[in-house]
Amino acid sequence: MSEDTKIPTPVADSIETLDPELAAQVAIQLGLTAEEYQGVIDVQGRVPSLTELYIYSLMWSEHCSYKHSKKQLRNFSSEGEHVLQGPGENAGVISVGDGWAVAFKMESHNHPSAIEPYEGAATGVGGIIRDIFTMGARPIACMDSLRFGTLDKPRQRYLFEGAVAGIGGYGNCLGVPTVGGEVYFEEAYEGNCLINAFAIGLMREENITRAVGSGPGNLVVLIGSSTGRDGIGGASVLASQEFDEAAENKRPAVQVGDPFEEKLLIEVCLELLKRGLFVALGDLGAAGLTSSASEMASRGGVGIDIDVRKVPQRESAMQPFEIMVSESQERMLAVVKPEDFAAVEQVCKRWSVACTAIGTITDTGRFVVRDSSLTAGNDIVADMPAEMLATSAPEYDPPMLRPAYLDELQSEDLSWLSRENKSAAVLSDELLSLLASANICSREWIWRQYDHQVQSNTVLLPGADAAVVRISDTGRGGSTNRGLAMSTDCNGRYCYLDPYVGAQIALAESARNLACVGAAPSAITDCLNFGNPEKPEVFYTFHKAILGLSDACKYYGIPVISGNVSFYNESFGNAIYPTPAVGMVGVVDDISQVVTGAFKQQGDTIILVGQTEDELGGSEYLKVMYDKVTGSPPALDLELEGDVQKVVREAVRDGILQSAHDCSEGGIAVTLAECCIVGGIGAQIDLDDELPAVTSLFSESQSRIVVSVNDEQVNELINRLQQAQVPYSVIGETGGDNLSIEGKIELSLVKITEVYRESLEQLVKQR
Amino acid sequence: MSRVDEVRFGVVTFPGSNCEQDAVHALRHLGYRADYVWHQDTNLNDYDALVLPGGFSYGDYLRCGAVARFSPVMSEVVRYAEAGRPVIGICNGFQVLTEAHLLPGALIRNKGLKFLCQTVHLRVEQSVCKWLDLPTGIVLDIPISHNEGNYICDDDTLARLQENGQIVVRYCEPDGSRLPQGSAPNGALDDIAGICNPRGNVFGLMPHPERVTDAVSGSNAGSVFFTAIATYAREVAGR
């Protein structure tokens, strides 16, 4: 609390406060520290009531207040001419031209999913989609960034299958296509899977809506589902603590989703927004009504007065604090002018959606909670300064310590790897092992469970380097031939071995994926998944990852318009790999020019843009063949990366390329195999790079893209590469029924296709 | 044939429908008039043909299509169909048509118990269906997207469907040959992807032709599901 902050005068003359000793105990039980509890007393000027204490414990929880991350997050810049809304709202918004704007955000739902994967993942999708239509945008696509332990463990198969089913179950019902995403399986995520859901929505620029309460006398209206005891304490119980043996007991804190209700809410809210009947709109997410109402009041500099008894309840005898902190899903909070309320009711009735005025906007600056079942005059159960509640949570500067493992692993000598003289037969078998790896093989088993085409705007099927959807308000309004390219990326292994470089690579890979479909990055959202921030080693990795990501964003001028931090991703004291997932969006100027990674026809020239170095540290090869996660991750030269992307992006836009595919996990051997498999065409390759065979095939050097180009365009492309001074090599030609890499790999297209396509299903079905 | 834009489709929207906008988009793209028909509306006179779109009407709670069939619009849809006027039910719309007994049989969970979104090969069968005017044996690649598309009916019904030429499209191999028995992607009986009533005016199918009608999908294989009905629709309407 700063010295000059003026706390508005309380509304209540008297309020039933807790016994001071009891209050201090309850505060600790609710997850506040002794110092934080003292902060509550300072802000309130007295001992809090039970309801107030619950509210503070949630609003000041890590999940709601970002108390450990706030200072670090200030490194990010959200500046950009096209940025219409940066962080601080339900989602960020950018202009994408011709009066269209998109809102997008990525958010974690890790902890609930680790306990109950179907509902955890489903409500993760529900939550992120509410964030999007709250801004006035129609949700047009979802992606998911997922992490699990390895599939040889039954529990991991259960989590993975359940989460995928939950994502599909919710998104499919809403009619929002899930068009892409990523998944990795690694021991580090065994006790704490990651479910990061990304959603994007489309609107006309003038329709942006914000959750800013205003106009004393206006009604505060709750729309959607009734309120129950589900998800009570989700933010503090689940999201702000580590897991231990008692995790199973936390199951009641996981919410249950009703996608049908949410589908109705989307239609109701978008119709009401279009008709201008909302002054403000916010969704009820973590900490439910408490955070939604107090943030709305705080942003608008007003007060809010709510009667909990007016909130429709699905369970009997709910206490005021339970109503205030319930995380029942599919609820929205709107501010409506009194004269518009009848019209709002009418629209809601048409869609059979409940809508109830539960309070009013006031000019007191106080967040007042009443229980009208109590006697008048004594009915106030909480009376807090709204702005202080929402914004004055403590901010921490946690200690950092460079983990000892970093130096040890980074300096590991891996030269023995490339000294091994392996025959083509052995190398071919190794490539098959990589293609069968859960981290590389086809994700079709996942995405065929997602409706990836509804809304009829999906330009590329999932599995492409980047997802592309047409900018079109299908069946309602304008359609264009422009598109949105999007990708989510993060290699947690790289981030574990070097959080700074690893985070930069996450950004670079996203941008490279966009380049492959001809799009430049417009902005990113992020979902920063880490362990317990109170551990100095963990916080060091968080700090470094943020620096890496923000430095790279600034270098390329990419604004960070929204994001989410998920801490305490630990189980039994072991943290996950630092996983700063990036969700990037860019614009495709002409969707007819988009290419995929698939080889298109016989006889095209295959060119490697970029250059392979000896970089097997942190590679999938090292993990799959030797079960090691060690070494330094590949280096990233931001300038070279930018040049490689630019030349490929422009070549795609100008229609010069037949295909473009980013080199990532598994190296160029895997990239080439994927181009062949998806295209159904073989390739004859000679990697004349003077590197040892293993390095040449499987090194994960960054800034590389494999492209194919027909005879007429070869010279044009080579000219452009030379002019851009980008290293490249002509490595072969498409054609035949084999993937042949001179002296190194000889495999039939049939074989690699079978292994690549069937592996994931086999891994899931093993018993 | 008169100008196509005189044909007017009504696309029925239930709470929870989510492919109604795709259908309207596809129809308008093909040059027809298309309007949303709210499930509480009961005047269908203005429409030459009706589309019951895909989605999750009423959340698919209880059973797919089971609640939607009691929507006010449905008794009118039944009357409309009984008058011989064209009705197509796509995916959830097909489920609604079976629940409303406008088509026989039922659609149950896919045999793999997983939602399936993928492109399938459909063989056009010799049928009495007014919605398709294509040579028998033609193969169309159309996406499916459903959790409950596994068609079942009793033996007598199946025999009747076969006899009457009510089986309109079947899942098949890429070259149009029959799949090995029991290997339809969703497990459908006799590989049935779509059926019609004996009169041929009511057609239900699980695949989504409306998703493959414009360039963005890279195919317009679905257009034929909407272009043949115009002439017939006008005849029945006496226009």
Nearest residue of A to residue B212, measured between CA atoms: A456
Cα–Cα distance measured from residue A617 to residue A626, given in angstroms and rounded to the nearest whole number: 12
Q: Does residue A247 have a pLDDT over 80?
A: no
User: pLDDT digit string (tens) for B139-148?
Assistant: 999 999 999 9
Nearest CA in chain B to A258: B59
Contact yes or no for A492/A538 (Cβ under 8 A): no
Residue A456 with chain B: CB contacts under 8 Å: 21-22, 25-26, 210-211, 214, 216-217
CA–CA distance, A249 with A257 (Å, rounded to integer) = 20
Q: What's the burial of A400, exposed, middle or buried (CB within 10 Å: 0-12/13-18/19+)? A: middle
Percentage with pLDDT > 70 across chain A: 96
Higher pLDDT, B175 or A229: B175
- Per the listing, tokens 């006398």 go with A217
* DSSP code for A376: T
By Cβ distance, the residue of B18, B118, B216 closest to A591 is B216
Helices (H) and strands (E) in chain A, counts: 26, 27
Tell me what the pLDDT averaged over chain B comes to.
94
C-alpha distances in Å from residue A557, one per residue of A83, A465, A750: 12, 22, 44
Inter-residue contact A501 to A410 (CB < 8 Å) = no
Cβ A351–B15 below 8 Å, yes or no? Answer: yes
Q: Do A455 and B21 touch (CB under 8 A)?
A: yes
Note if B208 is an active site residue.
Answer: yes
**CB-based contact A358:A318 (threshold 8 Å):** no
Residue A451 to residue B145, Cβ atoms within 8 A: yes
CA distance A528 to chain B (A): 30
Give me the residue from B54, B58, B114 closest to A260, CB to CB. Answer: B58
Confidence label for A2 from pLDDT (cuts 50, 70 and 90): very low
Residue of B nearest to A261 (CA): B59
Lowest mean pLDDT among A201-210, A248-257, A336-345, B113-122: A248-257
Statement: residue A248 has pLDDT above 80: no
User: CA-CA distance, A127 to A367, in Å (whole number)?
Assistant: 24
pLDDT recorded at residue A103 = 98
Coil/strand/helix, residue A90:
coil
The domain limits of chain B are 4-236
A453, B145: Cβ pair inside 8 Å?
Answer: yes
Lowest mean pLDDT segment, chosen from B109-118, B140-149, B218-227:
B218-227
CA distance A161 to A163: 6
Is A454 close to B19, i.e. CB distance below 8 A?
Answer: yes
Nearest chain B CA: its distance from A176 CA (Å): 9
Q: What residue type is A284 in one-letter code?
A: L
What pLDDT does B238 receive? 74
A579 φ, ψ to 5°?
-135, 80
Average of per-residue pLDDT across B27-46: 93
Judged by CB atoms closer than 8 Å, whether chains meet at A263 and B114 is answered as no
8 Å CB contact of B55 and A449: no
Q: Give the C-alpha distances (Å, rounded to integers) separating A189 from A151, A160, A572, A576, A750.
A: 11, 12, 12, 5, 33
According to CATH, the topology of domain B4-236 is: Rossmann fold (3.40.50)
Cross-chain Cβ contact A475/B116 below 8 Å: no
A169–B contact, CB cutoff 8 A:
yes
Strands (E), A543-665: 560-566, 570-571, 574-575, 579-588, 605-609, 659-662
* Position B230 confidence tier, pLDDT thresholds 50, 70, 90: confident
Please name the member of B25, B40, B54 whose beta carbon is closest to the beta carbon of A474.
Answer: B25
A332: left (phi over 0), alpha (psi -120 to 50) or beta: beta
Distance to chain A for B161, nearest Cα, Å? 30
| Predicted pLDDT of residue A5 | 64
Q: Which two tokens stand for residue A263?
A: 């589908």
Q: B9, B11, B13, B21: which to substitute to probe chain A, counting the most A Cβ within 10 Å?
A: B21
Contacts of B40 in chain A (CB under 8 A): 350
Q: Is A47 left (phi over 0), alpha (psi -120 to 50) or beta?
A: beta
Residue in chain A closest to B25 (alpha carbons) equals A475
Is A170 an 8 Å CB contact of chain B?
A: no
Give tens-digit pLDDT for B69-99.
999 999 999 999 999 999 999 999 999 999 9
- Determine whether the interchain pair A259/B216 forms a contact, defined as Cβ–Cβ distance below 8 Å: no
The enclosing H or E element of B170 equals strand B167-171
Query: Torsion angle of alpha carbons A509, A510, A512, A513, nearest 10°?
Result: 120
Beta strands at B106-108 and B150-152: parallel, antiparallel or unpaired: antiparallel
Pairing of strands B33-38, B8-13: parallel
Contacts with A475 from chain B: Cβ below 8 Å: 20-25, 28
**What's the CA angle centered on B174, arms B172 and B175, to 5 degrees?**
95
Please say if the pLDDT value at position A4 is more than 70.
no
Cβ of residue A456 closer than 8 Å to a chain B Cβ: yes
Residues counted in chain A: 767
* d(C-alpha A632, C-alpha A622), whole Å: 12
Please, which pLDDT band fits residue A13 given cuts at 50, 70 and 90? Answer: confident
Distance between CA A760 and CA B8 in Å, rounded?
Answer: 46
Partner-chain residue, chosen from A175, A352, A476, that has the shortest CB–CB distance to B19: A175
Q: Which residues of A touch B60 (CB under 8 A)?
A: 173, 260
As to burial, measured by CB atoms within 10 angstroms (0-12 exposed, 13-18 middle, 19+ buried), residue A662 is buried
> Among all residues of chain A, which has the CA nearest to that of B58?
A260
Q: CA A563 to CA A582: how far, in whole Å?
A: 9
**Cβ-Cβ contacts under 8 Å for A690 (sequence gap 6 or more):** none
Nearest to B22 among A258, A350, A454 (CB): A454
A332 forms bridges with which residues in the sheet? A223, A283
Indicate the residue type of A220: V
CA atoms within 13 A on the CB side of A263: 24
Sequence-distant (6+) residues with CB within 8 A of A387 are: A297, A298, A301, A365
pLDDT value at A88 more than 90: no
Instruction: Report the residue of chain B nearest A453, measured CA to CA.
Output: B211
Q: Has residue A392 got a pLDDT over 90?
A: no
Chain B: nearest CA to A311, how far in angstroms? 24
- Among A329, A454, A479, pick the best mutation site for testing chain B contact (most B Cβ within 10 A): A454
Distance CA A623, CA A439 (A): 10
Question: A236 pLDDT band (50/70/90 cuts)?
Answer: low
Compute the C-alpha angle A689/A691/A696, nearest 5°.
80
Distance CA A672, CA A683 (A): 8
CB of B109 closer than 8 Å to CB of B209: no
The catalytically annotated residue of B19, B91, B129, B153 is: B91
The mean pLDDT of A280-302, rounded to a whole number, is 92
Nearest residue of A to residue B218, measured between CA atoms: A459
* Cα angle value A648/A651/A657 (rounded, 5°): 95
Residue A84's SS3 state is strand
In terms of DSSP bridges, do strands A520-529 and A560-566 run parallel, antiparallel, or are they unpaired? parallel
- Would you call A474 and B143 a contact, using CB atoms and an 8 Å cutoff? no
Q: For residue B210, indicate whether it is catalytic.
A: yes
Tell me the residues of chain A between 457 and 496 that have a Cβ less than 8 Å away from chain B.
457-459, 470, 472, 474-476, 479
What confidence tens digit (pLDDT) does each residue in A615-642 have?
A: 999 999 999 999 999 999 999 999 999 9
Kindly indicate the confidence band of residue B218, based on its pLDDT and cuts at 50, 70 and 90: confident
A449 contacts in B (CB within 8 Å)?
114-117
Share of chain A above pLDDT 90, in %: 86
Name the residue facing B55 among A168, A175, A351 (closest C-beta). Answer: A175
The residue with tokens 């909990």 is: A308
Task: Tell if the CB–CB gap between A173 and B59 is shorter than 8 Å.
Answer: yes
A169 and B115: CB-CB below 8 Å? Answer: yes
User: DSSP 3-state assignment of A8?
Assistant: coil
pLDDT mean over A363-379: 93
pLDDT of residue A697: 97
Check CB contact under 8 Å for A173 and B19: no
Q: Do A351 and B217 touch (CB under 8 A)?
A: no
Q: What is the pTM of this model?
A: 0.95
Q: Which of A109, A111, A452, A661 is catalytic?
A: A109
| pLDDT class of A6 with cuts at 50, 70, 90 | confident
Classified as helix, coil or strand, A319 is coil
Rounded to whole angstroms, how far apart are CA atoms A510 and A330? 31
Q: How far is B151 from chain A (nearest CA, A)?
A: 19
How far is Cα of residue A12 from the mean position of the Cα atoms in its chain? 42
Query: From CA B170, how far away is CA B136, in angstroms rounded?
Result: 11
A451, B115: Cβ pair inside 8 Å?
A: yes
Average pLDDT over chain A, rounded to an integer? 94
Interface A-B, measured as beta-carbon pairs within 8 A, has a size of 99
User: Which chain B positions have a beta carbon within 8 Å of A352's beta carbon?
Assistant: 15
- Beta strands per DSSP E along A110-245: 138-148, 178-185, 194-204, 219-224
Average pLDDT on A350-377 reads 95
